[in-house]
Amino acid sequence: MHRVLLVEDNELNRTIIEDAFEFDSIPAELACAENGCQAIELAQSLKPALILMDVQLPDLSGLEVARRLQQITTTRNIPVWVVSAHALKGDEELAFEAGCVEYFTKPLDVASLGEKLKAFLNQLSQSDSNHV
């Protein structure tokens, strides 16, 4: 089973995403980090298939974390999806410039996120089985 790293400092937002994984039967193990430094450490040790990243974290911005992950050999190929309350013009572009590949705004459309997660993880599983 693939692992997804959720980087979110707000407990309510973490719970919403954790519940989506459980109730939508998303085929992945969810690990959580509450700040940027912890996210970098967990990304290196867990090597998740995907990172869901909040932008506003207590220590580093999520975009700075994404930039740093791009510089580390073992984490540079992990896709980062932003989940952010920032919905101003240009925010999405800044996320893509930092190396993020998807951008979701809060309040989160959990159904849409769940569908994209399932599609991504299913494609990853098919790719894994083709390389066996």
How buried is 5 (Cβ within 10 angstroms: 0-12 exposed, 13-18 middle, 19+ buried)? buried
Is the pLDDT score of 132 beyond 60?
Answer: no
Q: At what angle do helices 36-46 and 62-71 cross, to 10 degrees?
A: 40
Domains of the chain, earliest start first: 2-130 (3.40.50.2300)
Q: Residue 57 carries which side chain, given as an amino acid letter?
A: L
Over pLDDT 70: what percentage of the chain? 98
Closest listed residue to residue 103, CA positions, set 72, 1, 50, 113: 113
Kindly tell me the burial class for residue 57, based on how many C-beta atoms sit within 10 Å of its own C-beta (0-12, 13-18, 19 or more).
Answer: buried
Measured distance CA(61)–CA(69) in Å, rounded? 12
Contact 74, 101 (CB under 8 A): no
pLDDT tens track for 26-63: 999 999 999 999 999 999 999 999 999 999 999 999 99
User: pTM of this prediction?
Assistant: 0.94
